[in-house]
Structure 1
């Protein structure tokens, strides 16, 4: 029996796919997985994928050169699919215009904070990743290598290479099936998840040196400000892995990465191990995500928001 997504694809002639701002591995993996699947199986359908600039290590996925930036010209798609987007204003900048004009809209996600903003909303908070949710909506025998590699990348990125608490038996089974299609697991894990550029290593090293522990070491945070980005010639794509490394600090239950943007905002990335619901913490200032991984963007300085977040974290420890 075909899924609702397959049925939506089959009755469309033009399709747009978009992820969230500052796309991570799961966002790129789910978007490119669906894009490659449609290109491989429905060559008569015109499909466009819209993402903001992606990190170099994600360009290992086939056809990332096809990624487009939204333009000012009006476009009306038969179907618009949002992937890994928890709320409409988190969509690829500019793509919301195409979303609003599309004949049908679908929202596929795994964030518990999803606001269900599309006509069709398929949100599974228990899934390891948006890529896992997408996989289950596709026909297994029609998933070829290009799509399989993209989905595998998304799953390993959001599951921490199958180690985070959201990893289930089903997640592992999907990973095994994607490997059976031909995904070179060790290569993808090394090149996507573990490899770092020299700039990324230097930025991470400084971020770890600057880290601060509070609540008897049960919470650790660090700040990457604009001066640090300039010092190392880095950008926000080079932050990958820092908060996860902080999370691995012995005795820490919660890790926080704070980064300043050129637009005068600050981004908070939260991770927890077992007890603290960081989605609840992030939601205090309009953010959200998952119980063990969440984020928030605030205007201006990070100092007052940090006090609010730390007080909420202390209340859960």
Structure 2
């Protein structure tokens, strides 16, 4: 009996949760699980709870059924969390995990210490969608589920170019393509296409970027005012940190964007080197992966960059000691 089959035994109601500010892998894995359960376990009553999602994911089956508000009177037989590395990342929906009779956590963040009774965490996987694929019966994966899984994998691998892409990742993607999905449309529509306003935000972010540490690091800041001026939400910042990372000579890219709370910023980190960004994010209460991580910090931009730079320097000093260079 597989893990999913076992945990679903005798269950009637299921809540599916992802992380705050859901990205492609979070949305893809949550809706893949939703569609898989509703298509193959008709007796289950399944609800997905996520913060509002980007309209570009509207092609995914189940997108319109996602609930965006907490319902305090509801409890569930089973709560499944996907792509969330800790309870804090579940946002306002975290109580569903606490009150559920049983729980399952599926994730690929190496900083995840286990949120549930049953935890399936594969830090070496490209995405939560890749981890989820391994729990599903392949013969029961229809086109709708395949579209969701492929979307998540595409987004968390940067269309298969990030170092987290493995042979298994490509084999899974190939199987999903065989289910008849329109993979060029998924890639162009959900990953590359941007609104005019979003393009302006990205352009301004690059114009405002600052190199430091002799060009080895770069940062930029996106303000609420800039987003509002261009008719954008925080989701429009997706991709900016990867643009920063692509600058020649840059080893660490840092994106700060205002949360709306006084002096509070979301900090996204990316690297092309052996820097362990999960260590840096963890130092400030965040988490993620070695080459991609994030956290929330409070202070001025200068203070935050100085603190992050301090953590970067610690690792550089450690490397010098180890290599003797």
Q: TM-score normalised by the shorter chain: which range applies?
A: over 0.9
- SS of 1:137's equivalent? coil
Are 2:64 and 1:69 equivalent residues in the alignment? Answer: no
| CA root-mean-square deviation | 1.3
Q: Which region of structure 1 is more displaced relative to structure 2, 171-180 or 55-64? A: 55-64
What is the TM-score of this pair, normalised by structure 2? 0.94
Q: Answer with 275-284 or 174-183: which moved more.
A: 275-284
Aligned: 1:131 with 2:164 = no
Out of 248, 253, 256, the residue aligned to residue 255 of structure 1 is: 253
Alignment of 1:80-99 (within 5 A): 80-91=79-90, 93-99=91-97
Q: Tell me which of 134, 152, 157 is aligned to 2:150.
A: 152
1:19–1:50 Cα contact (<8 Å) kept: yes
| Residue in 1 that maps onto 2:177 | 179
Q: Indicate whether 1:14 and 2:24 are aligned.
A: no
* Counterpart Cα distance in 1 of 2:114 and 2:26: 17
- Per-residue CA deviations over 1:180-216 (Å, capped at 9, x if unaligned) read 0112221111111111111110000000000001122
Shift of 1:260: 0.4
Query: Which residue matches 1:191?
Result: 189
Q: Distance in 2 between matches of 1:267 and 1:3?
A: 38
- Report the counterpart of residue 309 of structure 2 in structure 1: 310
Structure 1 runs of 4+ with >4 Å offset: none
- Aligned length in residues: 315
Which residue number corresponds to residue 22 of structure 2?
Answer: 23
Is the CA contact 1:258–1:266 (under 8 Å) kept in the aligned structure 2? yes
Structure 2 regions of 5+ residues with no counterpart? 317-325
CA distance in 2, matches of 1:301, 1:25: 30
The whole-number CA distance in structure 2 between the counterparts of 1:117 and 1:43 is 27
Task: Give the corresponding residue for 2:320.
Answer: none
Q: Secondary structure at the match of 1:183?
A: coil
What secondary structure sits across from 1:60 in the alignment?
A: coil
Counterpart in the other structure of 1:243: 241
Q: Is the 8 A contact 1:50 1:68 kept in 2?
A: yes
